[in-house]
């Protein structure tokens, strides 16, 4: 008989017959890379973006280099957000050992550039996440 206040243990098998966890599969196929500092297996991906007008104002040499090497003429690749068009300025992968250092560096980036920087942190599904497959329902 199970006690009411005792946590229930969920047993799960790893993916592909016990060869890989959900975190390893996500890192392998979604991130495709190794740790930026030591080359170990990544557990977090950090992407940084900046508004186009701030990028041109704060980093004019980089903006000129990007626009001159682009085959479409004077164009800087952007993506739309609610804040306006943004330029991706960085993408880095970090292992478990360097994860804290990478997150701290990304948090300090806006002070270094003296502009607003959007930082996206993707930690994946997690090491202990239960992956459940939903059964197909005939309608």
Is 66 part of any domain?
yes
User: Tell me, what's the pLDDT at 119?
Assistant: 92
Is 20 part of any domain?
no
User: Tell me, what's the pLDDT at 22?
Assistant: 79
Which pair of structure tokens corresponds to residue 82? 């609610």
Q: Could you tell me the pTM of the whole model?
A: 0.75
Is 82 part of any domain?
yes
User: Tell me, what's the pLDDT at 75?
Assistant: 87
Is 128 part of any domain?
no
Residue-averaged pLDDT of the chain: 83
The residues that bridge with 44 in the sheet, in sequence order, are 94
Is 59 part of any domain?
yes
User: Tell me, what's the pLDDT at 42?
Assistant: 93
Flag residues of the chain having pLDDT under 50: none
If one counts the domains in the chain, the total is 1
């Amino acid at each position: 008989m199970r006690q009411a206040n005792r946590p229930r243990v969920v047993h799960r098998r790893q993916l592909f017959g016990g060869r890989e966890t959900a975190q390893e599969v996500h890192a392998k196929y979604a991130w495709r890379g190794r740790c930026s500092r030591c080359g170990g297996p990544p557990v977090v991906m950090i992407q940084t973006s900046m508004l186009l007008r701030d990028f041109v104002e704060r980093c004019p040499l980089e903006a000129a280099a990007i626009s001159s090497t682009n085959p479409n003429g004077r164009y800087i690749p952007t993506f739309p957000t609610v804040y306006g068009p943004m330029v991706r300025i960085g993408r880095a992968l970090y292992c478990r050992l360097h994860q804290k250092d990478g997150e701290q560096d990304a948090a300090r980036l806006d002070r270094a550039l003296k502009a607003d920087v959007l930082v996206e942190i993707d930690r994946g599904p997690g090491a202990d996440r239960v992956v459940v497959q939903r059964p197909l329902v005939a309608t």
